[in-house]
Amino acid sequence: MPDRPDLLARLTLVPTLNDRTDDGISLAATIDEGVCNAQIRPEKLRAPVPAANHLQRVQLLDRMQLSDAARLILVEAAAGFGKTTLLSQYRERCETSGRKVLWLTLDAVDNELRHLAAHLLVALQTLGEFPGKQKPIDFTAQGLLDRLVTLQQPFAIFLDDFETLESPPALDFVRRILASLPTNGLLVIASRTTPNLALGRLRAHGQLLDINTDSLRMSLTETTAFMRGKYGLTLQDREIAALQHRTEGWITALYMSALSLKGRHDPVGFVASLSSSSLELTHYLAEDILGRQPDDCREFLLQSSVLEHFNAALCNAVTSCNDSQAMIEYLQRANLFIQPVDEQHHWFRYHPLFADFLRRVLARQHPQQPAKLHAIAAHWYLGKHMPVAAIENFLIAGEADNASKQIDRYLDELIDAGRLRLLLRWFEQLPDEILDNYPRLVMTHAWTLVLDRRYQDAMQRIERQPANLQTDTIRCLLQVFTDQIDAAYTTGMTQIERLSPQDRLNYGLVATPLAYCMIATGRYAQARCLLTQMVGHGTQSRSTLVENIVICVESILDLIQGRLESAVVRLRTINANRLQNPGGKWTGGRPSLDILRALTCYEQDDFEQAQQILSDIPPNALDSGGPDPMIVRHVLLARIALEQGRRDDWVQQLAELEQLGRSSGSLRIYSAAWLERARVATLENRPDSAAQALHNAELAGQWDRPDLLLYSCDVDTPFIACQRLRIFNAEHASAVSALGPAIAEALERQHNRRALKLRLLFAMALEGLGRHKQALETLTPALCLASKEGFVRTFIDEGLPLAKLLQRWAVSNQAQCKSLDIDPPFLTQLLQRSASLNAQAAAQDEDPDAALTTRELHVMQLLAAGNRNRAIAEQMHLSEHTVKTHLRNISAKLGAQGRTEIIAIARAKGLLD
């Protein structure tokens, strides 16, 4: 198929892999049926009806019902332990007690946040009236969270099969749901794995009820009731006890044993033959159950097992028979692990464990059949206009060419539906030699790799294709994202000369990264001229996007050139306009604007507002923004967490940022994580840790050039971190020699925010050399700029040494503030914040842990690594008596009552970092 000119237009309207909902398309437009919309599957919203032969788990249900303080009930165990059954039974308890219930069975598609949010929105409508229902419904993901808060009656959200959620945006959304729950709300989750939902904090506050594998095992009493009461088996106590021992209370094994025991005359021999291995046990029981079925039933089970979901018509096609409806009814009557997935009992599935067993048997007995059956299913789905299922089956069948043809055929609809993560998963399964035959698929693959932050992989994909307008456009964007600013500028200038401003789409796609390059290299007038051309030729439909881009660039310029107040007013104004005209959409460019707004709030020391803005930005909304928004988001959240005493969150944010750097191939993202670690280690007087962190940052610091300014790292570069560490290591002369020329160059290039930071370090270095008067004189112009523009954190982030220097400056100069053109209220605010740092330092001086010696720190680190006294003594070449003496001293200094407390206190204070 020829390269369609509207492909990039479609792709740029979906600037994320996961959440079309919050990036320009409202959920209201996605609930209709069809491949291009988020198909609502009502069966996902219905809890399975507990079968008559299921045993009520009374003790567990009582625990769940009495857990008044819990915000989250987590039922976690491997497959076959009755998690879904327990949730279904608890759902009935909730409804009986008057608690409203929202149920959602998750699957892989819900990793696309658009699908997850759409199903939750539909489910919310079943919970009843909302206050202010006459107002228009906000169909964004944030709108869903806001609606939860308005629910008046007790309610519970049930999420089954939670282990299928793997994408960070989907998990982050669930974390936001959990954080937004009012006191009358409850989240109930069933999962095979431990979900990443900050469980430690919930557990520490008594807000988590954890029901694990051991809790789910049936007791002997329950096993007896199950075998005799539910299945009418006349087993003796010793036989039930033996069965209980063999299965260890595993519900699936007990259920399969009950099926196998029916009609047997020698239950004792059967129980004795059971293996104690769970895997062997299930295979043995499944073989026994399968072997006792008629031949036609056995064949039907094997062939239909390749289908994730099936109905009679599909089974007729796959099995080449016409009696599938009768066979399905027989399987239901025989309780052979078949479950309906819709209310009409039209579609079915097998229990996952049983389906897995059947597929293994089929592959062993007929190795060629699975691929053939999947191919038949694929063609059946195509005939029913179900292309997603068809493509999935073609891929499983190994028919990559057929899959590629269908992806290309339905590409526009899939892009319009925001199914880019699904497309990426498919592309990863296609051989390069086949994919290269479909230029539109290659282009889409490259774009999805960009959104997946796999910049190097995207560049490799583009390099495989002949150069053309669209590949060069994406190449320019990738060069910016990988900090090849000079190359991107050259590519962009070449591209822009080939384009007319009338070609608004491609012109805008090139002009945006090109303007960024111009700013980064100090070509400010050229950047403004380019943006003026964009505005002059913007269409009404793209006016918001163009306006956002222009405001974003102008705000970056303001920040770089030290005009913080101008950036604040500009960003505040556009946010106020947005609030006055809510459209339920996350308009193009908005995430980058909000990142900048959070940065300005942080700089003004408004932590609460900065944190709120950052928390409201879905992580995936930054997919198409490149390194800068991601760096700002993670670093600010890390600093806020550390300021609030949440050191674990600080560690987590930086670990995530480092991993983003590794996965994307962006050295700057990777370096940013280590620069923040170096900064904190320096301020905490851990020079060895700071030096190691700085070394790691410098290894990835090729982007650090005085003639290049990237706004997220404006005042956080390896050079700046190095001077800070020099000052703390009393290498003041070296710092003064390096900082003087750096300040002059920053001022010459109008990098005034960076010059402000450099002046503060310069003042501290001069103070360290004893040049007190010059140090105070250096602070004066810094305070003058800061007071006019509102820079606060630039000072506070340098810690106690600068705070003390500010106090000395105030003693000498506070009375002259007005004549020095320094705003007195600003200085008062800054001095108050500095005083709080001094107070913290005084408290630390009274705390004996400040006197820990190097040897005591070494002992403590070995202790935290799990070493006993003898092992510590051997490694440090000391006697055990000396080690014990060190441990007594450490306990006294930390106020600890034992080894465990030593480690806990040391971790909390960051002494083990």
For the stretch 246-300, pLDDT in tens is 777 888 778 878 877 776 677 777 777 665 444 556 666 677 778 878 899 999 9
Residue 588 confidence (pLDDT): 54
Pair type for strands 338-340 and 185-191:
unpaired
pLDDT-derived band of residue 140, with 50, 70 and 90 as boundaries?
A: low
pLDDT tens, residue by residue, 52-78: 778 889 999 999 998 888 999 999 987
Give the pTM.
Answer: 0.69
* CA distances for 21 relative to 15, 139, 144, 446, 615, angstroms: 11, 8, 11, 22, 17
542 CB-contact burial (10 Å; exposed 0-12 / middle 13-18 / buried 19+): middle
Show the tokens assigned to 78: 């491997």
Q: What is the DSSP letter of 197?
A: S
The CA-based angle 790-794-796, given to 5 degrees, is 100
pLDDT value of position 279: 56
Report the sign of the C-alpha dihedral through residues 686, 689, 691, 693, in that order. Answer: negative
Q: Which distant-in-sequence residues (6+ apart) come within 8 Å of 249 by Cβ? A: 216, 217, 218, 219, 222, 223
**Looking at the predicted structure, is the pLDDT value of residue 811 above 90?**
no
Q: What six digits make up the tokens of 859?
A: 């002992």
User: What is residue 663's predicted lDDT score, i.e. its pLDDT?
Assistant: 86
Topology at the third CATH level for domain 667-845: 1.25.40
Give pLDDT, residue 785: 95
Bridge-based pairing of strands 338-340 and 155-160 is: unpaired
Where are the domains positioned within the chain?
42-216, 468-538, 543-615, 667-845, 849-908
Q: Model confidence over 874-898: pLDDT tens digits?
A: 888 777 877 887 888 888 777 676 7
Mean pLDDT over each residue of the chain, to the nearest integer: 83
Q: Which CATH number fits domain 849-908: 3.30.230.10, 3.40.1010.10, 1.10.10.10, 1.25.40.10?
A: 1.10.10.10
DSSP state for residue 162 in the 8-state scheme = G
Rounded to an integer, the average pLDDT of 628-640 is: 94
Q: Which CATH number fits domain 42-216: 3.30.2320.80, 3.40.50.920, 1.10.760.10, 3.40.50.300?
A: 3.40.50.300
Average pLDDT over residues 775-802: 94
**Residue of 167, 313, 72 lying closest to 618 (CA atoms):** 167
- Please report the pLDDT score of residue 909 as a whole number: 64
Query: Given this model, what pLDDT does residue 545 score?
Result: 65
Per residue in 700-758, pLDDT tens? 888 999 889 999 999 999 999 999 999 999 999 999 999 999 999 999 999 999 999 99
Task: Supply the Cα-derived Rg of the chain in whole angstroms.
Answer: 32
**Any long-range contacts for 727-733 (C-beta under 8 Å, 24+ apart)?**
727/761, 727/764, 727/765, 727/768, 727/801, 728/682, 728/685, 728/687, 728/690, 728/801, 729/687, 730/768, 732/765, 732/766, 732/768, 732/769, 733/769
